[in-house]
Amino acid sequence: MDIRVFKNYEELSKAAAELIVEQVKNKANSNLGLATGSTPVGLYNELIKDHKENKTSYKDVQTFNLDEYIGLPNTHDQSYYQFMQEKLFSHIDVETNNIHIPSGNVEDIEKECERYNALLKNNPIDVQILGIGTNGHIGFNEPGTPFESVTSKVELAENTRNDNARFFDSMDEVPTHAISMGIQNILEAKQIVLLASGANKADAIKAMVKDAASIDCPASALQNHANVIVLLDEAAASKL
């Protein structure tokens, strides 16, 4: 793993944006794997700024999101579909048809998982952006998930629901399940860029980097990938 530590969140977001802009400049039809959550918001803001100032184009880029809550319609303000529209897609020139997010609001979730797995097989991801849960999850692959997992319906761990409760009016409204790319899908990306900021991520980062790879820390599966860049602020790196 190529671990890079930055003074603060702003610097780490800028560094992440530089990697993505370079990727898109080198390969206009890049396949980008994207994440939601608080961590990549700074990166998305930098991409929007760059798109406005330097006209980097996403016209031929395809995007593949990691996950979506089950049971929230696309129109729900906490659906990851809406999140991506608000935080990135509506501000850049990505084509609607090139945006791929698993749907958590279909009758047949099994079929939706098969569709998403086939889509990923046919469109290998060039760069996958990841955040990390305080429990070491990547995507919504919670501790205990086999490293061979592919896109499936997953149950959110209690501490993940607690971590995400800040976005909902009450705990009851926090979804219990999601559809998530599996760890194997993530490992199939040509390059992985994981971002983490804040002292609450320090234990998970330590388990990912220092401990032997184990299903107890899903992010430790990245130790088996040849091209991983980890961008941390000083607080997230504090236990390394």
Catalytic residue annotation: 67, 135, 137, 142
Q: Is residue 182 near ligand F6R by the rule CB under 6 A?
A: no
Applying CB under 6 A, among 50, 67, 112, 233 the residue interacting with ligand F6R is 67
How far apart are CB 97 and ligand F6R at their closest, in Å? 21
Q: Which residue has the tokens 């047949």?
A: 108
Output the CA torsion sign for 105, 106, 112, 116: negative
Contact characters 19-58, ligand F6R, x per CB under 6 A: ----------------xxxxx-------------------
How far apart are CB 74 and ligand F6R at their closest, in Å? 16
Q: Is residue 128 near ligand F6R by the rule CB under 6 A?
A: no
How far apart are CB 160 and ligand F6R at their closest, in Å? 6
DSSP 61: -
DSSP 64: E
How many residues sit close enough to ligand F6R to count as binding (CB under 6 A)? 14
Q: Classify strands 2-6 and 99-100 as parallel, antiparallel or unpaired.
A: unpaired
How far apart are CB 139 and ligand F6R at their closest, in Å? 4
How far apart are CB 140 and ligand F6R at their closest, in Å? 6
Compute how many other C-beta atoms are within 10 angstroms of the C-beta atom of residue 32. Answer: 22
Applying CB under 6 A, among 33, 42, 104, 139 the residue interacting with ligand F6R is 139
Which residues lie across from 214 on neighbouring strands? 217
Q: Is residue 137 near ligand F6R by the rule CB under 6 A?
A: yes
Residue of 3, 239, 33 whose CA lies nearest to 139: 33
**Which residues are CB-neighbours of 101 under 8 A, at least 6 positions away?**
65, 68, 80, 81, 84
Compute how many other C-beta atoms are within 10 angstroms of the C-beta atom of residue 10. Answer: 14
C-alpha R_g of the chain: 17
Which residues lie across from 100 on neighbouring strands? 64
Q: Is residue 154 near ligand F6R by the rule CB under 6 A?
A: no
Considering only 7-15, 44-52, 128-136, 150-158, which stretch makes contact with ligand F6R by CB under 6 A?
128-136
Residues at the contact surface with ligand F6R, assessed by CB under 6 A: 35-39, 66-67, 131-133, 137-140
